[in-house]
Structure 1
Amino acid sequence: MREGMIAEILELRDVLGQKSRLAERERGLCAPVLRDQGLIPRIYGWFCELRGGGEEVYCRRQFILIVLFLYAPAVLAGGRMPRGLRRSIAAAAGFTDVTFVSHNVDTVFFYYRHYEGFRKEVDGLYAAICARLGAGSLVRL
């Protein structure tokens, strides 16, 4: 009987240690690169300059993905959207319906995960935007 208790205690210690490490990793993965939503219009300007046109809905989805990854990466994994972010994205990009952002979270992640062309374009745009953010000392990357 005593060995069973020791085994359970040791297992419990192991589980608690794993939970702690996972919680720390989660905090790191969920940490936003940016917090100042006032930068979103500038980011949109850079996005449009770098993107140089293209199919409108496709471009909107790319922009949404980039901004969500910068401001709220947890949203892309099912987390909650920070207050005001949806409205800030919609205002910067000129969306008439702010729900377009919320309704496309799953879609943009699906596109990113499954469509190589979409993923490569987004990765390139994201890297260029991050370079501008870093060059302007707007964020430490």
Structure 2
Amino acid sequence: MELDFDKIKRIRKIRSVKSDLSKEENILIKPILSDKKLIPLIYKTFTNIICKKSDEGISTVMQRKKFIFIILYLYSPSSLAGDKMASGLRNELSKVLGIQAKSTISNNCANLVFLYQNYMDFRNDVEFIYNKILSWLKIYGLIK
């Protein structure tokens, strides 16, 4: 077996790429919000936006999924990519949504990314509501 120095070069290159990807991932998974006490206020803002925008009502499963998507994006973006939800977030969502079984939250999370990617109405609503909530958070100095 002969010495293949290219193997060493490839290992170094792979490690460098992995390091760069890890740094980028750490930036991307950083939540916008961490104070879970804001979730009831965000929910109230969400319901106000929905009531003005839609005659569908806030209590539908799809509206609940839109809210959960936005909360996950704000508090636990990596969970939308398959990681576990940030600690305590499922409990807060259960409380604000009035859901007893926490498994309902998990079940509602199962296809959020699919809905966002494949259903234009869902995506448009999420983006519209998210931008309104973001504006509200900025106005009240809760984010920069």
Please state which band the TM-score falls in when normalised by the shorter chain. Answer: over 0.9
Partner of 1:48: 47
Quote how far apart the aligned CAs of 1:47 are.
Answer: 0.2
Equivalence map 1:1-141=2 (5 Å): 1-2=2-3, 4=4, 6-52=5-51, 54=56, 56-140=60-144
Quote how far apart the aligned CAs of 1:100 are.
Answer: 1.4
Identity of aligned residues (%): 33
The whole-number CA distance in structure 2 between the counterparts of 1:58 and 1:65 is: 10
Are the aligned partners of 1:41 and 1:93 in contact in 2 as well (CA < 8 Å)? no
Secondary structure of the corresponding residue to residue 90 of structure 1 = helix
The whole-number CA distance in structure 1 between the counterparts of 2:18 and 2:98 is: 42
Q: Give the letter aligned to residue 29 of structure 1.
A: L
Q: More deviation in 32-41 or 92-101?
A: 92-101
Aligned residues: 138
Quote how far apart the aligned CAs of 1:103 are.
Answer: 1.1
The whole-number CA distance in structure 2 between the counterparts of 1:65 and 1:32 is: 13
Please give the TM-score of this superposition, normalised by the length of structure 1.
0.92
Quote how far apart the aligned CAs of 1:132 are.
Answer: 0.8
Please give the TM-score of this superposition, normalised by the length of structure 2.
0.91
Q: More deviation in 65-74 or 47-56?
A: 47-56
In structure 2, runs of 5+ residues without a counterpart are none
Q: Give the letter aligned to residue 102 of structure 2.
A: V
Q: CA RMSD in A?
A: 1.2
Q: Give the letter aligned to residue 33 of structure 1.
A: I
